[in-house]
Structure 1
Amino acid sequence: MNMGPKIRIRFSQNSSEEFQRHHPGSLVAMESRHRAEVQRETGRAQNATGSVGRPDINLGATNDVIGSGLKQAKVLILAYYRSGSTLTGSFFNSLPGVFYTFEPLHAVFKNADRQRSLKYFSGKVRTAPKWEEISNLSLEILQAFYSCDLEALDWHTITSGFGAKSTAYAEYIGCLRSTPLNSNNRENVRRNCLPGLIQRCKSSKTIVVKTIRVHMTLAEELLKVIPDLKIVHLMRDPRGMACSLQRKQCRGSLANVNDMCARLTTDVLRRRALAHVHPESVCSVKYEDIIQTPLRTVMNMFKFLGLVFHSDVAKWIFYTLFSGHQSNGPLSITKSNSIATAYNWTRRIHWDVVDRYQQTCADFLREEHYPVFYDIVDVRKFRVTERNLTEQVLELQQFWSQKDGGDLAV
């Protein structure tokens, strides 16, 4: 079965040791230092595998208890803006028994930006968070979601409209909409709306949080306090993300390219160091793989997480990627041609954007095996191997019919 395009790598294929000798400041050199640091911190150093490439999704044995109702699984989707995180999160949201939370840190980041104080159900008021306090505050919020201690959250976080993007929040959002959201009604929300949401969280088989506001270093800290946490590192070609951000002309400001590339590179080396110590806790998934081979990629991701791949997920994959429904806009997850949409940036992007990202994100592009282009003609000629649409639909049909006897309407 075709797993996607064979990409031409235009960097030399030196061994990691040789590359490190000649490029001491490279990602490979930094990775070895960070790996040693993680091993010292945990005290659980393991032998290196001898390869430097990204850890593939582990298809080995999984914990059958997770996701089966005997133990609550906890998953963190660590992603980036315009990286396909909403689509990826929707696969979990379609899985029965999942308590899915969409961007729980949005409100606290907004409060920090606007310098608004944080108010709690207990009556406590915390002064407007400073940016240097955001990491610790984010850790507190995530712990509250994973422990279902939702009453401990600040008012803006627990009443964020982003809850409407999760089926688990449906009744709670309905309750909020029938209750004016002001300080006089906080007790009504706590008494009438919140208990049902907390019970839904506690009774769920799996708790999933999707966020673009967490760096891998913070995920490491979260893993220390939640040892059974599973981390999915979702990535996309940064040139595609940049083009998606600049939707009209795929050009514009390059002011954030240094920050984006630095975060991508740092997250990769931290993930690899973490995976050498806790291989069962972290995996990497590419948006491009989800688009090109969705059934296989999502099933493998679920297998790593120990989750049962339900027929509802197959139906959702079909609806969002293959049903032919038109997109409802640039932020919609439903695409009439998902592969064309994912690689549309190669038709629209300007060379100055490509060139800047290839220089600044060189380490990330090389280590994650993304193609590097010589000029704009090279970019325009880029093609991915599209699997036949009928073949993919039949694959989904086969899985669906085996599970519940239904057929996909093509």
Structure 2
Amino acid sequence: MRVSKRLSFYGLVFLVSLCIFFLALNQHYSNYLEHHLQPALSEVEIRPRTVNVQDPLMAYIRGSADNATLLEIQEVIDQQRRTIEEDMEDYEYPRGKYGINSSSLNDLVMEKGGRPVRSVILTSWRSGSTFFGDVLNAHPANFYHYEPLLDFGIVQIRGPPLAEEALKNIEALLNCDYSNLDQYLEYGKTHVWLFNHNTHLWRQCQAHKRICWDHRFVSKFCKLFPFQSMKLVRLRLRAAEKLLAQEKLKIRLVLLIRDPRGILQSRRHREWCPSIPDCSDPALVCADMVSDFRAAVRLKKKYPNTFRVIRYEDLSVDPYRHVKELYEFYGLNFHPDVKRFLNTHTKNDVGGVSSTFRNSKVAPFHWRTDLDFEVVEEIQKVCATAMRLWGYVMAVNATHQREFDSLTDYELDL
């Protein structure tokens, strides 16, 4: 009997000691987070959790798991901040040049109250935007918003009702606010190319999978970067005007145009395109090009310093000159990293249809040998106006198609 009582006593002492240990550990961990993670806890939204008060062990486990997530987020943020500071050590800041008044990293970093340089490409599918987007992403300390309307599907957004939601999402992304983008983030979990073109973000996602799609992490991570780039292939120009009008965003937008014959030839190689009229119908493709032209003429007059047009073919034939000019337009330094990218990505064809390793002088013109003249003739019948407006020459017959220069010297006619 005495042995049984003694065992019961020791068991009770053990349980009490265990409870005291957990309470002390919890208090110590909470104090650590309060002192060391206060910036993270004050700047991110922590959504309320429903905790069963009758189950204190589960409440403790859940709280500890969330604290561990916040700790991991802060460790990654601190590491990336140091990396950006190193990357920007010798950067030549504009100091008023290109209309951008920045002389230090803090002037361009949102977490420090600065405003990043925001460079936007607007085009449509298979118009050279993957190459151009990667040219911008070659710039150091750039955060790349790759096709932010990917979750909208294979659709061209020309106006209401989709335009309102699309513009709301784009503005949130450019402000690094992912708190209400649950659908976007959920889509990304099964369509990783939403993030994997963003080299800095994807590197951390590979090492920290648990936090990759957490809006608290992505919002804070995005706010570290002095430069943001974005490419849009689902939004037409007249709908995008509201972005140019946003004084707080101060985006600089380039409309990238391509010969419709080249567009449609390239889209034939994409399995997701042929069954979708917005992607495969020449009449719709060229109607959008006409609409973009009319909007471009108006916007060039209204926003001469923040809007520009370039044809993909011109960019490809003389990439160094045009990229340097576009970098100046965007307010970016023509960094050695960008020159290295051009040296390695414009000489030879490597990879599949989505590769950006191309002989740039040849890539835009594959349609001349890949398409039968009968197909080209059908495209030209419905695209005559668009081709005239954007300076593309008609092919007369099969022989002419393979030998002629399909471009005129072009400048947007105001």
Contact 1:288 1:342 in 2 (8 A): yes
* Alignment partners' CA distance in 1, 2:185 and 2:344: 31
CA 1:109/1:133 → structure 2, altered by over 3 Å: closer, same or farther?
farther
Q: Say whether residues 1:138 and 2:166 are aligned partners.
A: yes
* Alignment partners' CA distance in 1, 2:244 and 2:100: 21
Counterpart of 1:101?
145
Letter in 1 for 2:394: V
Q: Say whether residues 1:330 and 2:366 are aligned partners.
A: no
* Alignment partners' CA distance in 1, 2:369 and 2:255: 27
CA 1:151/1:291 → structure 2, altered by over 3 Å: closer, same or farther?
same
| Long gaps (5+) in structure 1 | 1-60, 114-130, 180-187, 386-410
| Long gaps (5+) in structure 2 | 1-96, 108-114, 408-414
Counterpart of 2:98?
62
Tell me the CA shift for residue 108 of structure 1: 3.2
* Alignment partners' CA distance in 2, 1:63 and 1:358: 41
Tell me the CA shift for residue 68 of structure 1: 6.3
C-alpha RMSD over aligned residues? 2.8
* TM-score, L = length of structure 2: 0.64
Counterpart of 1:348?
370
Letter in 1 for 2:400: D
Identity score, percent: 25
Letter in 1 for 2:382: T
Deviation sequence 1:88-110 (CA, Å, 0-9, x none): 00011110121111111111337
Deviation sequence 1:108-167 (CA, Å, 0-9, x none): 337x99xxxxxxxxxxxxxxxxx9532111011101111111122124446511210111
Contact 1:105 1:138 in 2 (8 A): yes
CA 1:384/1:311 → structure 2, altered by over 3 Å: closer, same or farther?
farther
Contact 1:82 1:241 in 2 (8 A): yes
Counterpart of 2:314?
289
Counterpart of 2:229?
208
CA 1:66/1:379 → structure 2, altered by over 3 Å: closer, same or farther?
farther
Counterpart of 1:197?
218
Counterpart of 1:184?
none
Q: Say whether residues 1:168 and 2:200 are aligned partners.
A: yes
CA 1:352/1:74 → structure 2, altered by over 3 Å: closer, same or farther?
same
* Alignment partners' CA distance in 2, 1:333 and 1:285: 18
Counterpart of 2:66?
none
Partner of 1:379, secondary structure, is: helix
Q: Say whether residues 1:81 and 2:125 are aligned partners.
A: yes
Contact 1:101 1:208 in 2 (8 A): yes
Partner of 2:223, secondary structure, is: helix
CA 1:109/1:350 → structure 2, altered by over 3 Å: closer, same or farther?
same
**More displaced stretch, 205-214 vs 194-203:** 194-203
* Alignment partners' CA distance in 2, 1:158 and 1:305: 32
Count of residues in correspondence between the two structures: 290
* Alignment partners' CA distance in 1, 2:152 and 2:368: 35
* Alignment partners' CA distance in 2, 1:329 and 1:171: 23
Partner of 1:231, secondary structure, is: strand
Letter in 1 for 2:374: D
Within-5 A mapping of 1:196-275: 196-226=217-247, 228-247=250-269, 256-275=281-300
**More displaced stretch, 268-277 vs 224-233:** 224-233
Deviation sequence 1:369-404 (CA, Å, 0-9, x none): 11222112110112589xxxxxxxxxxxxxxxxxxx
CA 1:63/1:107 → structure 2, altered by over 3 Å: closer, same or farther?
same
Letter in 1 for 2:321: R
Higher normalized contact order (CA 8 Å, seq sep 6+, divided by chain length): 1
Instruction: Choose 1 or 2 for highest CA Rg.
Output: 2
Q: Say whether residues 1:304 and 2:329 are aligned partners.
A: yes
Aligned counterpart in structure 2 of residue 368 of structure 1, from 384, 387, 390: 390
CA 1:375/1:300 → structure 2, altered by over 3 Å: closer, same or farther?
same
Tell me the CA shift for residue 241 of structure 1: 0.8
Contact 2:129 2:256 in 1 (8 A): yes
Contact 1:66 1:72 in 2 (8 A): no
* Alignment partners' CA distance in 1, 2:142 and 2:239: 23
* Alignment partners' CA distance in 2, 1:278 and 1:156: 30
Partner of 1:214, secondary structure, is: coil
Contact 1:243 1:349 in 2 (8 A): yes
Contact 1:144 1:150 in 2 (8 A): yes
CA 1:135/1:89 → structure 2, altered by over 3 Å: closer, same or farther?
same
Answer 1 or 2: which has greater helix percent. 2
Aligned counterpart in structure 2 of residue 379 of structure 1, from 397, 401, 409: 401
Letter in 1 for 2:98: T
CA 1:257/1:275 → structure 2, altered by over 3 Å: closer, same or farther?
same
